Each structure stands twice: as C-alpha cells, then as structure tokens.
Amino acid sequence: MNDDYPLSIQQVTAYQRDGYIQLNEVITGDDLVQFRDAVNAAVKKDTAQLDPNRPKSSYEQIFIQCVNLWHRYPAVKPFVLHRRLGNIASKLSGLSVRLWHDHALFKEPHTGAKTPWHQDTPYWPHQQKMHQLTIWVALQDTTIHNGCMSFIPGTQRMLDIEPVNLGEPQDLYAVAPQTKGIKPVTCELKAGSVTVHNGMTFHYAGPNRSDGMREAIAIIYMPDGTTYSGSPHSVADPMKLTVGQKLDTEFFPLVSN
C-alpha cells in the first residue's frame, strides 16, 4: 500500500456520474491479512462484554457495528488513515478529504439481517451534504449469499429525502418514489476489493445466509472545510462542538495529499 491506487479518468467520471464504483484489489497480500486481523481483534475486544443471548433490537440484528476503531486500536489506525485510501476518496470526489469516522460492519451468520435501502449523509451532523463518501472494504470475499452491497446509480443527486429508520425501515418507494425504474447494481467483492459510494447514493446489503461472519469495514470521508450542523451524533456529541465549527481537529485528520 505504499503507492497510490491507479484510477483512470473513466473511473473518476463513472463515480461522479453514478455515485458509486467498485475497485478491485485495493488492499492485497500481507497488508490485507494484517488489516483483517487487526479489525477482527478490535471487534472481538469491543464486543467481549456483550451477552450473545441477549434480546437484540432490530438495528442490532442487521450487523455488529464498532465505530472509530482507529482511535482505540493502534493496529487498525495505520490502515484507516492510509493515504492510498484517502487519495482514492480525494481523486473520486475532486476534493481534499478528512476522515469522518470508521466503522466495522460484521453480519453474523444466518442471523445478520438485510441492511435496508438508505442514504448515509442525512444521518451525519454536517452542514454541507454533497461530497461525503465511504470506502467499504471487504475483509473477506463478499457475495450475494453473505450480504454484499448494492447501489442505485445516480441517486446521489436526490436531495431532501427523509432519512430511513434502519431499525424500522419503510419501503424504498414510499420514501423515494423517484427511484422507481432505476435498476440496482450488486457488487460482489473479493477480499481486499472495495466499493466507494457517495453519502447520498442509495445502497443496500442483503442478509448473511452463509455459515461464516461477513466481515467489512467502512471508512467515511468528508471534504476538508466541512462544518458542524449541531445535529445529534454519537461521534460528534462528546466533543462539545459549536454549530458552524469546522471539523478539522485531531479527531478528523486530513488523509489525502
């Protein structure tokens, strides 16, 4: 991962047109093994105190989510902050980018429910809503059978849609009837490959029907200069930010050249 991932003009154009793109073999070899091992160890430690037999909420049934592992686990940090990933985000968006946060998204075997169609950006306390993006890293092969990602092309331009309640999701066409007639695209990934999607692009992940955990980590970026809206959010709330403050502290490092 010492060099930049090669992106063509055609790939940048496709991302900006469709609001998502699949990139293959972004992380390979020993880097992939070390990244996967680090995230697995962090998730295991984060969830060690949870009773596996406890009743789970609808949201908890979708996936095991562990946020901002890079803050707490030194083995995860260099991968989340790596310039190869940050520069992919920068080149696709055309902007310098800062890390917003990471989150591991593990779907449990047989019980990992579908992730409903939704946009990401409406959940985030950002005053600017257009150019956030997520690099979703498959830490092992990800297929329709174990819950890979799907996208609705072009929906990054659909603004002012109410955020979907992931725990009690509405029908997509009730929330966004303008998506009718647009064919979703499903992206199966080999380990170390990624999808990148704009925070306003509608996306979905199916249930995990396999015998193993579906392991992925999402790394979320925002344009340098993004400011705080004041909306509640678990990442921003402990920081006591003021409305209009730039999200440019050490917790939101610049990760592109």
| Entry pTM | 0.95
Domains of the chain: 9-48+57-239 (2.60.120.620)
pLDDT in tens, 215-244: 999 999 999 999 999 999 999 999 999 999
> pLDDT-based confidence at 257, cuts 50/70/90?
confident
Tokens representing 109? 């075997």
pLDDT in tens, 44-68: 999 988 766 666 665 566 778 999 9
pLDDT in tens, 130-185: 999 999 999 999 999 999 999 999 999 998 888 887 777 678 888 899 999 999 99
Sequence letter at residue 208: N
In this predicted structure, what is the pLDDT of residue 198? Answer: 98
E strands along 53-132, which residues?
A: 64-67, 97-107, 115-118
What gap in Å lies between CA 111 and CA 3, rounded to an integer? 39
Q: Are the CB atoms for 85 and 135 separated by under 8 Å?
A: yes
In this predicted structure, what is the pLDDT of residue 2? Answer: 76
